[in-house]
A and B are shown apart, each in its own frame.
Chain A
Protein backbone atom coordinates (compact mmCIF):
# COMPACT_ATOMS: atom_id res chain seq x y z
CA UNK A 1 0.00 0.00 0.00
CA UNK A 2 2.79 2.41 0.95
CA UNK A 3 4.70 1.67 -2.25
CA UNK A 4 1.50 2.27 -4.24
CA UNK A 5 1.12 5.61 -2.59
CA UNK A 6 4.74 6.49 -3.22
CA UNK A 7 4.36 5.58 -6.88
CA UNK A 8 1.25 7.76 -7.17
CA UNK A 9 3.20 10.61 -5.61
CA UNK A 10 6.03 10.17 -8.11
CA UNK A 11 3.60 10.14 -11.03
CA UNK A 12 1.79 13.28 -9.91
CA UNK A 13 4.84 15.23 -8.73
CA UNK A 14 6.22 16.52 -12.09
CA UNK A 15 2.92 18.12 -13.14
CA UNK A 16 2.25 19.53 -9.66
CA UNK A 17 5.76 20.97 -9.34
CA UNK A 18 5.64 22.43 -12.85
CA UNK A 19 2.38 24.26 -12.16
CA UNK A 20 3.48 25.30 -8.67
CA UNK A 21 6.60 26.86 -10.19
CA UNK A 22 5.23 28.34 -13.38
CA UNK A 23 1.59 29.02 -12.52
CA UNK A 24 1.16 29.60 -8.79
CA UNK A 25 4.59 31.18 -8.35
CA UNK A 26 4.11 33.82 -11.06
CA UNK A 27 0.64 34.66 -9.72
CA UNK A 28 2.02 35.28 -6.25
CA UNK A 29 4.81 37.37 -7.77
CA UNK A 30 2.12 39.37 -9.62
CA UNK A 31 0.51 40.17 -6.26
CA UNK A 32 3.93 41.23 -4.96
CA UNK A 33 4.58 43.49 -7.95
CA UNK A 34 1.19 45.18 -7.48
CA UNK A 35 2.19 45.90 -3.88
CA UNK A 36 5.31 47.68 -5.07
CA UNK A 37 7.82 44.82 -4.71
CA UNK A 38 9.03 45.21 -8.27
CA UNK A 39 11.79 47.13 -10.01
CA UNK A 40 11.57 50.79 -8.98
CA UNK A 41 8.45 50.29 -6.84
CA UNK A 42 7.76 51.58 -3.35
CA UNK A 43 6.15 48.91 -1.16
CA UNK A 44 2.58 49.61 -0.08
CA UNK A 45 -0.94 50.00 -1.38
CA UNK A 46 -0.02 53.05 -3.47
CA UNK A 47 -1.13 51.49 -6.78
CA UNK A 48 -4.48 50.48 -5.31
CA UNK A 49 -5.25 53.93 -3.88
CA UNK A 50 -4.22 55.46 -7.23
CA UNK A 51 -6.71 53.19 -8.97
CA UNK A 52 -9.57 53.63 -6.52
CA UNK A 53 -9.15 57.40 -6.38
CA UNK A 54 -9.51 57.97 -10.12
CA UNK A 55 -13.04 58.04 -11.56
CA UNK A 56 -11.65 57.03 -14.98
CA UNK A 57 -10.83 53.54 -13.71
CA UNK A 58 -14.26 53.19 -12.13
CA UNK A 59 -15.79 54.03 -15.50
CA UNK A 60 -13.58 51.45 -17.24
CA UNK A 61 -14.59 48.83 -14.65
CA UNK A 62 -18.28 49.66 -15.21
CA UNK A 63 -17.79 49.39 -18.99
CA UNK A 64 -16.07 46.03 -18.57
CA UNK A 65 -18.92 44.62 -16.46
CA UNK A 66 -21.57 46.13 -18.71
CA UNK A 67 -19.98 44.67 -21.85
CA UNK A 68 -19.67 41.24 -20.20
CA UNK A 69 -23.33 41.36 -19.12
CA UNK A 70 -24.48 42.32 -22.62
CA UNK A 71 -22.38 39.61 -24.27
CA UNK A 72 -23.64 37.00 -21.76
CA UNK A 73 -27.27 37.96 -22.48
CA UNK A 74 -26.65 37.81 -26.25
CA UNK A 75 -24.98 34.39 -26.16
CA UNK A 76 -27.73 33.03 -23.88
CA UNK A 77 -30.46 34.30 -26.20
CA UNK A 78 -28.77 32.80 -29.27
CA UNK A 79 -27.28 29.74 -27.58
CA UNK A 80 -30.17 28.31 -25.55
CA UNK A 81 -32.47 27.54 -28.50
CA UNK A 82 -29.46 26.27 -30.43
CA UNK A 83 -28.49 23.86 -27.65
CA UNK A 84 -32.10 22.66 -27.43
CA UNK A 85 -32.25 21.94 -31.16
CA UNK A 86 -28.78 20.34 -31.04
CA UNK A 87 -29.65 17.87 -28.30
CA UNK A 88 -32.95 16.90 -29.94
CA UNK A 89 -31.37 16.27 -33.33
CA UNK A 90 -30.04 12.83 -34.18
CA UNK A 91 -27.48 11.24 -36.43
CA UNK A 92 -25.85 13.34 -39.13
CA UNK A 93 -27.89 16.46 -38.27
CA UNK A 94 -26.50 16.41 -34.75
CA UNK A 95 -22.88 16.07 -35.91
CA UNK A 96 -23.37 18.91 -38.41
CA UNK A 97 -24.99 21.20 -35.82
CA UNK A 98 -22.15 20.46 -33.42
CA UNK A 99 -19.51 21.08 -36.08
CA UNK A 100 -21.22 24.35 -37.02
CA UNK A 101 -21.08 25.68 -33.48
CA UNK A 102 -17.56 24.48 -32.59
CA UNK A 103 -15.91 25.27 -35.93
CA UNK A 104 -15.46 28.99 -35.06
CA UNK A 105 -13.91 27.91 -31.75
CA UNK A 106 -11.01 26.59 -33.77
CA UNK A 107 -10.67 29.71 -35.92
CA UNK A 108 -8.31 32.06 -34.18
CA UNK A 109 -9.91 34.91 -32.27
CA UNK A 110 -7.74 37.39 -34.19
CA UNK A 111 -9.10 36.04 -37.48
CA UNK A 112 -12.71 36.12 -36.24
CA UNK A 113 -12.28 39.69 -35.07
CA UNK A 114 -10.88 40.59 -38.48
CA UNK A 115 -13.96 38.93 -40.01
CA UNK A 116 -16.24 41.21 -38.00
CA UNK A 117 -14.16 44.19 -39.10
CA UNK A 118 -14.92 43.18 -42.70
CA UNK A 119 -18.62 42.83 -41.80
CA UNK A 120 -18.91 46.16 -40.00
CA UNK A 121 -16.24 48.15 -41.88
CA UNK A 122 -17.08 51.12 -44.06
CA UNK A 123 -16.67 49.07 -47.27
CA UNK A 124 -18.02 45.94 -45.57
CA UNK A 125 -20.81 43.40 -45.79
CA UNK A 126 -23.29 45.28 -43.61
CA UNK A 127 -23.01 48.49 -45.62
CA UNK A 128 -23.21 46.56 -48.91
CA UNK A 129 -26.52 45.08 -47.70
CA UNK A 130 -27.79 48.47 -46.52
CA UNK A 131 -26.86 50.04 -49.89
CA UNK A 132 -28.68 47.24 -51.66
CA UNK A 133 -31.79 47.95 -49.61
CA UNK A 134 -31.48 51.67 -50.27
CA UNK A 135 -30.81 52.44 -46.62
CA UNK A 136 -28.21 54.88 -45.24
CA UNK A 137 -24.78 53.39 -44.42
CA UNK A 138 -23.59 52.87 -40.85
CA UNK A 139 -20.20 53.49 -39.28
CA UNK A 140 -20.34 51.25 -36.21
CA UNK A 141 -16.97 49.46 -36.44
CA UNK A 142 -15.56 51.09 -33.29
CA UNK A 143 -18.80 50.98 -31.27
CA UNK A 144 -19.78 48.97 -28.19
CA UNK A 145 -22.48 47.30 -30.31
CA UNK A 146 -19.98 45.94 -32.83
CA UNK A 147 -17.60 44.78 -30.08
CA UNK A 148 -20.44 43.06 -28.19
CA UNK A 149 -21.63 41.23 -31.32
CA UNK A 150 -18.11 40.11 -32.20
CA UNK A 151 -17.47 38.89 -28.64
CA UNK A 152 -20.81 37.08 -28.57
CA UNK A 153 -19.69 35.28 -31.71
CA UNK A 154 -16.36 34.38 -30.12
CA UNK A 155 -17.97 33.06 -26.91
CA UNK A 156 -21.16 31.45 -28.26
CA UNK A 157 -19.66 27.92 -28.45
CA UNK A 158 -19.01 27.93 -24.68
CA UNK A 159 -22.64 28.77 -23.95
CA UNK A 160 -24.03 26.18 -26.36
CA UNK A 161 -21.70 23.43 -25.14
CA UNK A 162 -22.46 24.13 -21.45
CA UNK A 163 -26.22 23.98 -21.99
CA UNK A 164 -26.03 21.02 -24.39
CA UNK A 165 -23.91 19.03 -21.93
CA UNK A 166 -26.69 19.39 -19.31
CA UNK A 167 -29.51 18.68 -21.74
CA UNK A 168 -27.68 15.60 -23.04
CA UNK A 169 -27.62 14.21 -19.52
CA UNK A 170 -31.38 14.51 -19.11
CA UNK A 171 -33.54 11.47 -19.56
CA UNK A 172 -35.80 12.02 -22.63
CA UNK A 173 -38.39 9.96 -20.76
CA UNK A 174 -39.00 13.01 -18.54
CA UNK A 175 -40.52 14.98 -21.41
CA UNK A 176 -42.47 11.96 -22.57
CA UNK A 177 -43.83 11.42 -19.08
CA UNK A 178 -44.99 15.03 -18.94
CA UNK A 179 -46.61 14.64 -22.35
CA UNK A 180 -48.35 11.44 -21.27
CA UNK A 181 -49.71 13.30 -18.26
CA UNK A 182 -51.22 15.84 -20.65
CA UNK A 183 -48.70 18.71 -20.62
CA UNK A 184 -48.59 20.68 -23.89
CA UNK A 185 -45.14 21.41 -25.42
CA UNK A 186 -44.92 24.85 -23.75
CA UNK A 187 -45.73 23.43 -20.31
CA UNK A 188 -43.29 20.57 -20.86
CA UNK A 189 -40.62 23.15 -21.62
CA UNK A 190 -41.58 25.55 -18.83
CA UNK A 191 -41.97 22.99 -16.04
CA UNK A 192 -39.63 20.16 -17.02
CA UNK A 193 -36.88 21.16 -19.43
CA UNK A 194 -36.23 24.74 -18.31
CA UNK A 195 -35.74 24.06 -14.57
CA UNK A 196 -33.59 21.02 -15.32
CA UNK A 197 -31.43 22.86 -17.86
CA UNK A 198 -30.99 25.90 -15.63
CA UNK A 199 -27.82 24.43 -14.20
CA UNK A 200 -26.22 24.29 -17.66
CA UNK A 201 -27.42 27.79 -18.48
CA UNK A 202 -25.88 29.14 -15.28
CA UNK A 203 -22.60 27.35 -15.99
CA UNK A 204 -22.64 28.79 -19.50
CA UNK A 205 -23.36 32.33 -18.31
CA UNK A 206 -20.63 32.14 -15.70
CA UNK A 207 -18.12 30.85 -18.23
CA UNK A 208 -19.01 33.43 -20.89
CA UNK A 209 -19.03 36.31 -18.41
CA UNK A 210 -15.62 35.35 -17.02
CA UNK A 211 -14.11 34.74 -20.47
CA UNK A 212 -15.53 38.04 -21.71
CA UNK A 213 -13.97 39.97 -18.83
CA UNK A 214 -10.58 38.51 -19.75
CA UNK A 215 -10.93 38.98 -23.53
CA UNK A 216 -8.76 41.69 -24.88
CA UNK A 217 -8.04 40.91 -28.53
CA UNK A 218 -11.48 41.90 -29.82
CA UNK A 219 -11.85 45.18 -27.87
CA UNK A 220 -8.19 45.98 -28.58
CA UNK A 221 -8.50 45.59 -32.35
CA UNK A 222 -12.08 46.84 -32.86
CA UNK A 223 -12.26 49.48 -30.14
CA UNK A 224 -10.60 52.80 -29.45
CA UNK A 225 -10.11 55.01 -26.41
CA UNK A 226 -13.86 55.50 -26.03
CA UNK A 227 -14.46 51.76 -25.70
CA UNK A 228 -11.83 50.99 -23.05
CA UNK A 229 -12.13 47.84 -20.94
CA UNK A 230 -9.91 46.63 -18.07
CA UNK A 231 -8.15 43.91 -20.07
CA UNK A 232 -7.12 46.34 -22.82
CA UNK A 233 -5.98 48.82 -20.17
CA UNK A 234 -3.78 46.13 -18.59
CA UNK A 235 -2.25 45.41 -21.99
CA UNK A 236 -1.64 49.10 -22.64
CA UNK A 237 0.01 49.59 -19.25
CA UNK A 238 2.39 46.74 -20.07
CA UNK A 239 3.25 47.60 -23.64
CA UNK A 240 2.74 51.34 -24.05
CA UNK A 241 3.34 52.82 -20.60
CA UNK A 242 5.58 49.99 -19.28
CA UNK A 243 4.10 50.55 -15.82
CA UNK A 244 4.36 46.98 -14.51
CA UNK A 245 3.19 47.69 -10.99
CA UNK A 246 0.03 49.39 -12.19
CA UNK A 247 -0.57 46.72 -14.83
CA UNK A 248 -0.33 44.06 -12.11
CA UNK A 249 -2.77 46.02 -9.94
CA UNK A 250 -5.29 46.40 -12.77
CA UNK A 251 -4.87 42.72 -13.63
CA UNK A 252 -5.58 41.67 -10.05
CA UNK A 253 -8.63 43.93 -9.88
CA UNK A 254 -9.84 42.22 -13.06
CA UNK A 255 -9.17 38.84 -11.48
CA UNK A 256 -11.01 39.89 -8.30
CA UNK A 257 -14.04 40.92 -10.35
CA UNK A 258 -14.01 37.57 -12.19
CA UNK A 259 -13.78 35.71 -8.85
CA UNK A 260 -16.61 37.82 -7.43
CA UNK A 261 -18.78 36.78 -10.37
CA UNK A 262 -17.93 33.12 -9.76
CA UNK A 263 -18.86 33.54 -6.09
CA UNK A 264 -22.18 35.23 -6.89
CA UNK A 265 -23.04 32.54 -9.40
CA UNK A 266 -22.16 29.77 -6.94
CA UNK A 267 -24.50 31.34 -4.39
CA UNK A 268 -27.22 31.64 -7.00
CA UNK A 269 -26.76 28.01 -8.03
CA UNK A 270 -27.01 26.88 -4.39
CA UNK A 271 -30.19 28.86 -3.87
CA UNK A 272 -31.70 27.37 -7.02
CA UNK A 273 -30.72 23.90 -5.90
CA UNK A 274 -32.34 24.42 -2.50
Chain B
Protein backbone atom coordinates (compact mmCIF):
# COMPACT_ATOMS: atom_id res chain seq x y z
CA UNK B 1 0.00 0.00 0.00
CA UNK B 2 1.56 3.33 -0.91
CA UNK B 3 1.78 6.10 1.62
CA UNK B 4 -0.35 8.64 -0.29
CA UNK B 5 -3.30 6.30 -0.24
CA UNK B 6 -2.85 5.43 3.40
CA UNK B 7 -2.52 9.08 4.38
CA UNK B 8 -5.78 9.87 2.56
CA UNK B 9 -7.44 6.92 4.21
CA UNK B 10 -6.31 7.98 7.70
CA UNK B 11 -7.70 11.48 7.11
CA UNK B 12 -11.09 10.03 6.09
CA UNK B 13 -11.21 7.53 8.95
CA UNK B 14 -10.01 10.21 11.36
CA UNK B 15 -12.83 12.51 10.25
CA UNK B 16 -15.35 9.73 10.85
CA UNK B 17 -13.85 9.00 14.29
CA UNK B 18 -13.56 12.60 15.45
CA UNK B 19 -16.60 14.29 13.83
CA UNK B 20 -19.19 13.27 16.45
CA UNK B 21 -16.78 14.24 19.25
CA UNK B 22 -15.84 17.61 17.75
CA UNK B 23 -19.45 18.65 17.15
CA UNK B 24 -20.15 17.99 20.84
CA UNK B 25 -17.20 20.20 21.83
CA UNK B 26 -18.42 22.94 19.46
CA UNK B 27 -22.02 22.83 20.69
CA UNK B 28 -20.78 23.03 24.31
CA UNK B 29 -19.59 26.58 23.54
CA UNK B 30 -22.70 27.72 21.66
CA UNK B 31 -24.44 30.96 22.51
CA UNK B 32 -27.78 29.64 21.25
CA UNK B 33 -30.43 28.16 23.52
CA UNK B 34 -30.87 25.15 21.21
CA UNK B 35 -28.61 22.54 19.59
CA UNK B 36 -27.47 23.54 16.10
CA UNK B 37 -24.35 23.09 14.03
CA UNK B 38 -22.46 25.24 13.29
CA UNK B 39 -23.31 27.30 16.41
CA UNK B 40 -24.52 30.83 15.57
CA UNK B 41 -22.15 32.31 18.18
CA UNK B 42 -19.90 31.39 21.09
CA UNK B 43 -20.31 31.65 24.86
CA UNK B 44 -19.51 29.89 28.11
CA UNK B 45 -23.12 30.08 29.35
CA UNK B 46 -23.83 26.34 29.02
CA UNK B 47 -20.59 25.31 30.73
CA UNK B 48 -21.33 27.76 33.56
CA UNK B 49 -24.88 26.44 33.75
CA UNK B 50 -23.97 22.76 34.12
CA UNK B 51 -21.12 23.44 36.54
CA UNK B 52 -23.64 25.14 38.83
CA UNK B 53 -26.37 22.55 38.28
CA UNK B 54 -26.67 19.88 40.99
CA UNK B 55 -28.62 17.73 38.50
CA UNK B 56 -25.25 17.14 36.79
CA UNK B 57 -22.72 17.79 39.54
CA UNK B 58 -24.16 15.29 42.00
CA UNK B 59 -24.12 12.44 39.43
CA UNK B 60 -20.55 13.44 38.55
CA UNK B 61 -19.58 13.08 42.21
CA UNK B 62 -21.45 9.76 42.40
CA UNK B 63 -19.57 8.48 39.36
CA UNK B 64 -16.16 9.43 40.76
CA UNK B 65 -16.87 7.84 44.16
CA UNK B 66 -18.37 4.70 42.61
CA UNK B 67 -15.47 4.28 40.18
CA UNK B 68 -12.91 4.63 42.99
CA UNK B 69 -14.75 2.13 45.21
CA UNK B 70 -15.31 -0.33 42.34
CA UNK B 71 -11.63 -0.21 41.32
CA UNK B 72 -10.58 -0.78 44.96
CA UNK B 73 -12.98 -3.69 45.33
CA UNK B 74 -11.79 -5.24 42.07
CA UNK B 75 -8.16 -4.85 43.19
CA UNK B 76 -8.78 -6.51 46.57
CA UNK B 77 -10.43 -9.50 44.87
CA UNK B 78 -8.44 -9.79 41.65
CA UNK B 79 -4.84 -9.13 42.74
CA UNK B 80 -4.57 -12.18 45.06
CA UNK B 81 -6.31 -14.32 42.43
CA UNK B 82 -3.90 -13.08 39.74
CA UNK B 83 -0.89 -14.02 41.90
CA UNK B 84 -2.16 -17.56 42.46
CA UNK B 85 -3.15 -18.01 38.80
CA UNK B 86 0.18 -16.75 37.49
CA UNK B 87 2.10 -19.11 39.80
CA UNK B 88 -0.23 -21.87 38.61
CA UNK B 89 0.52 -25.46 39.57
CA UNK B 90 -2.96 -26.31 40.82
CA UNK B 91 -5.77 -28.14 39.13
CA UNK B 92 -8.42 -26.05 37.38
CA UNK B 93 -6.24 -22.91 37.20
CA UNK B 94 -7.07 -22.37 33.52
CA UNK B 95 -10.81 -22.88 34.15
CA UNK B 96 -10.77 -20.47 37.09
CA UNK B 97 -9.01 -17.87 34.97
CA UNK B 98 -11.66 -18.20 32.24
CA UNK B 99 -14.42 -17.96 34.83
CA UNK B 100 -12.97 -14.79 36.36
CA UNK B 101 -12.69 -13.22 32.90
CA UNK B 102 -16.16 -14.33 31.79
CA UNK B 103 -18.10 -11.18 32.81
CA UNK B 104 -16.34 -9.58 29.81
CA UNK B 105 -18.17 -11.73 27.28
CA UNK B 106 -21.67 -11.32 28.64
CA UNK B 107 -23.78 -8.42 27.33
CA UNK B 108 -23.90 -5.89 30.21
CA UNK B 109 -27.66 -5.56 29.80
CA UNK B 110 -28.19 -9.25 30.62
CA UNK B 111 -25.97 -9.01 33.70
CA UNK B 112 -27.72 -5.83 34.73
CA UNK B 113 -31.18 -7.39 34.40
CA UNK B 114 -30.14 -10.50 36.34
CA UNK B 115 -28.59 -8.40 39.10
CA UNK B 116 -31.77 -6.32 39.30
CA UNK B 117 -33.81 -9.47 40.04
CA UNK B 118 -31.15 -10.88 42.36
CA UNK B 119 -30.65 -7.75 44.47
CA UNK B 120 -34.41 -7.32 44.84
CA UNK B 121 -34.65 -10.95 45.97
CA UNK B 122 -31.96 -10.57 48.67
CA UNK B 123 -33.39 -7.27 49.89
CA UNK B 124 -30.77 -4.96 48.37
CA UNK B 125 -32.96 -3.52 45.60
CA UNK B 126 -32.25 0.18 45.04
CA UNK B 127 -29.36 0.16 47.54
CA UNK B 128 -26.07 1.88 46.62
CA UNK B 129 -24.19 -1.33 47.49
CA UNK B 130 -25.97 -3.10 44.63
CA UNK B 131 -24.49 -0.63 42.19
CA UNK B 132 -21.03 -1.22 43.67
CA UNK B 133 -21.46 -5.00 43.41
CA UNK B 134 -22.40 -4.72 39.73
CA UNK B 135 -19.42 -2.55 38.95
CA UNK B 136 -16.98 -4.78 40.82
CA UNK B 137 -18.26 -7.75 38.76
CA UNK B 138 -17.51 -5.97 35.48
CA UNK B 139 -14.16 -4.49 36.56
CA UNK B 140 -12.61 -7.69 38.03
CA UNK B 141 -11.62 -9.00 34.55
CA UNK B 142 -9.72 -5.81 33.65
CA UNK B 143 -7.84 -5.80 36.94
CA UNK B 144 -7.10 -9.52 36.71
CA UNK B 145 -5.83 -9.39 33.15
CA UNK B 146 -3.50 -6.46 33.74
CA UNK B 147 -1.98 -7.86 36.95
CA UNK B 148 -1.66 -11.35 35.42
CA UNK B 149 0.21 -9.95 32.43
CA UNK B 150 2.54 -7.96 34.68
CA UNK B 151 3.25 -10.80 37.10
CA UNK B 152 3.81 -13.32 34.31
CA UNK B 153 6.29 -10.93 32.74
CA UNK B 154 8.56 -10.40 35.77
CA UNK B 155 11.41 -12.53 36.99
CA UNK B 156 10.12 -14.28 40.09
CA UNK B 157 13.43 -15.71 41.26
CA UNK B 158 13.75 -12.79 43.72
CA UNK B 159 10.71 -14.18 45.58
CA UNK B 160 12.35 -17.60 45.86
CA UNK B 161 15.56 -15.99 47.04
CA UNK B 162 13.71 -14.06 49.74
CA UNK B 163 11.90 -17.21 50.84
CA UNK B 164 15.12 -19.20 50.91
CA UNK B 165 16.59 -16.51 53.11
CA UNK B 166 13.76 -17.10 55.56
CA UNK B 167 11.32 -14.23 54.84
CA UNK B 168 7.71 -14.93 55.82
CA UNK B 169 5.15 -15.06 52.97
CA UNK B 170 3.75 -11.69 54.09
CA UNK B 171 7.19 -10.05 54.00
CA UNK B 172 7.88 -11.59 50.60
CA UNK B 173 4.60 -10.15 49.34
CA UNK B 174 5.12 -6.67 50.79
CA UNK B 175 8.80 -6.23 49.97
CA UNK B 176 9.33 -8.28 46.82
CA UNK B 177 6.07 -9.15 45.01
CA UNK B 178 4.18 -5.90 45.55
CA UNK B 179 6.91 -3.59 44.19
CA UNK B 180 7.18 -5.84 41.11
CA UNK B 181 3.47 -5.81 40.30
CA UNK B 182 2.74 -2.23 41.37
CA UNK B 183 2.67 -0.92 37.74
CA UNK B 184 0.14 -3.63 36.87
CA UNK B 185 -2.06 -2.78 39.85
CA UNK B 186 -1.98 0.94 39.04
CA UNK B 187 -2.71 0.41 35.34
CA UNK B 188 -5.42 -2.16 36.09
CA UNK B 189 -6.89 0.13 38.73
CA UNK B 190 -7.03 3.08 36.35
CA UNK B 191 -8.54 0.82 33.69
CA UNK B 192 -11.14 -0.43 36.17
CA UNK B 193 -11.85 3.15 37.25
CA UNK B 194 -12.47 4.19 33.63
CA UNK B 195 -14.64 1.14 32.91
CA UNK B 196 -16.82 1.90 35.93
CA UNK B 197 -16.90 5.64 35.18
CA UNK B 198 -18.06 4.81 31.64
CA UNK B 199 -20.53 2.04 32.44
CA UNK B 200 -24.19 2.64 31.54
CA UNK B 201 -26.27 -0.55 31.50
CA UNK B 202 -25.80 -1.56 35.13
CA UNK B 203 -25.93 2.00 36.43
CA UNK B 204 -29.15 2.67 34.53
CA UNK B 205 -31.04 -0.27 36.00
CA UNK B 206 -29.55 -0.35 39.51
CA UNK B 207 -29.22 3.33 40.40
CA UNK B 208 -31.89 5.56 41.91
CA UNK B 209 -32.48 9.30 41.64
CA UNK B 210 -30.01 9.78 44.50
CA UNK B 211 -27.31 7.42 43.22
CA UNK B 212 -27.57 8.16 39.47
CA UNK B 213 -24.15 8.25 37.77
CA UNK B 214 -23.08 10.82 35.19
CA UNK B 215 -23.87 8.73 32.06
CA UNK B 216 -27.31 7.96 33.51
CA UNK B 217 -27.95 11.65 34.21
CA UNK B 218 -26.89 12.59 30.67
CA UNK B 219 -29.05 9.82 29.17
CA UNK B 220 -32.09 10.95 31.18
CA UNK B 221 -31.47 14.55 30.17
CA UNK B 222 -31.33 13.64 26.45
CA UNK B 223 -34.55 11.67 26.79
CA UNK B 224 -36.43 14.74 28.02
CA UNK B 225 -34.68 17.73 26.52
CA UNK B 226 -32.32 18.11 23.60
CA UNK B 227 -30.34 21.20 24.61
CA UNK B 228 -26.67 22.32 24.67
CA UNK B 229 -26.40 21.47 28.40
CA UNK B 230 -25.77 17.86 27.30
CA UNK B 231 -22.86 19.01 25.15
CA UNK B 232 -21.40 21.06 28.01
CA UNK B 233 -21.52 18.21 30.55
CA UNK B 234 -20.21 15.85 27.85
CA UNK B 235 -17.24 18.15 27.33
CA UNK B 236 -16.47 17.98 31.05
CA UNK B 237 -16.75 14.19 30.87
CA UNK B 238 -14.40 14.06 27.87
CA UNK B 239 -11.88 16.35 29.61
CA UNK B 240 -11.79 14.16 32.74
CA UNK B 241 -11.32 10.96 30.77
CA UNK B 242 -8.66 12.53 28.55
CA UNK B 243 -6.60 13.39 31.63
CA UNK B 244 -6.89 9.78 32.83
CA UNK B 245 -5.99 8.44 29.37
CA UNK B 246 -2.89 10.62 29.19
CA UNK B 247 -1.89 9.34 32.62
CA UNK B 248 -2.26 5.77 31.29
CA UNK B 249 -0.24 6.55 28.17
CA UNK B 250 2.61 8.31 29.90
CA UNK B 251 2.59 6.08 32.94
CA UNK B 252 2.34 2.68 31.31
CA UNK B 253 2.34 2.90 27.51
CA UNK B 254 -1.06 2.58 25.91
CA UNK B 255 0.01 0.35 23.04
CA UNK B 256 1.33 -2.26 25.45
CA UNK B 257 -1.99 -2.32 27.31
CA UNK B 258 -4.27 -2.18 24.28
CA UNK B 259 -2.47 -4.46 21.88
CA UNK B 260 -2.00 -7.16 24.49
CA UNK B 261 -5.80 -7.60 24.48
CA UNK B 262 -5.82 -10.26 21.79
CA UNK B 263 -2.84 -12.16 23.13
CA UNK B 264 -2.47 -13.91 26.39
Contact across chains for B81 and A110 when beta carbons are under 8 A apart? no
CA A119 to CA B194, docked complex, whole Å: 26
The docked-state distance in angstroms from the alpha carbon of A255 to that of B198 is 22
A81 contact set on B, CB distance < 8 A: 1, 6, 9, 13
Q: Measured between alpha carbons, how far is A106 from B16 in the docked complex, in Å? A: 16
Cβ–Cβ contact B34 & A123, under 8 A = yes
Q: How far is the CA of A187 from the CA of B19 in the complex (A)?
A: 35
Say yes or no: B77 contacts A99, CB within 8 Å.
no
| Closest A residue by C-beta to B78 | A15
Q: Which residues of A contact B200 (CB under 8 A)?
A: 108-110, 217
Chain A residue contacts of B117, Cβ below 8 A: 26, 29-30, 33, 38, 244, 248
Interface residues on A, range: 35 or more
B107 touches A210 (CB 8 A): yes
Residue of B nearest to A235 (CB): B109
A16 engages B218 (CB within 8 Å): no
Counting CB contacts under 8 A, is A27 at the interface?
Answer: yes
**Quick one: given A14-B80, A29-B121, A114-B222, are A238 and B34 in contact (CB under 8 Å)?**
no
Residues 83-108 of chain B: 1 if any A CB is under 8 Å from the residue's CB, otherwise 0? Answer: 11101011001001001101101111
Among B154-162, B178-186, B234-242, the stretch that binds chain A is: B234-242
How long is the Cα–Cα vector from A118 to B38 in the complex, in angstroms?
10
Q: Kindly state whether residue B24 has any CB partner on chain A within 8 Å.
A: yes
**A162 within 8 Å of B (CB atoms):** yes
Within 8 A of A (CB), among B99-147: 99-100, 102-103, 105-111, 113-118, 121, 133-134, 136-137, 140, 144
Interface string of A217-246 (1 = CB under 8 A from B): 100010000000001001100110000100
Contact with A along B195-238 (1 / 0, CB 8 A): 00010110011000000001100110011001000110010011
Given the interface pairs A29-B121, A102-B258, A118-B231, the reply to whether A217 lies near B137 with Cβ below 8 Å is no
Q: Which of A98, A150, A258 contacts B107 (CB 8 A)?
A: A258
Flag if A19 contacts B100 (CB, 8 Å): yes
The smallest C-beta distance from B259 to any residue of chain A, in angstroms, reads 5
- Chain B residues, CB < 8 A from A239: 205
Q: Within the complex, which residue of A29, A78, A200, A217 is in contact with B114, where a contact is CB–CB below 8 Å?
A: A29
In the complex the two chains form, is B20's CB within 8 Å of A153's CB?
yes
A/B interface sample: 21 pairs, CB < 8 A: A4-B89, A8-B87, A10-B80, A11-B84, A19-B99, A30-B117, A33-B117, A38-B117, A88-B1, A88-B6, A102-B258, A114-B222, A118-B20, A125-B19, A161-B259, A169-B263, A203-B262, A211-B107, A214-B108, A251-B110, A251-B114
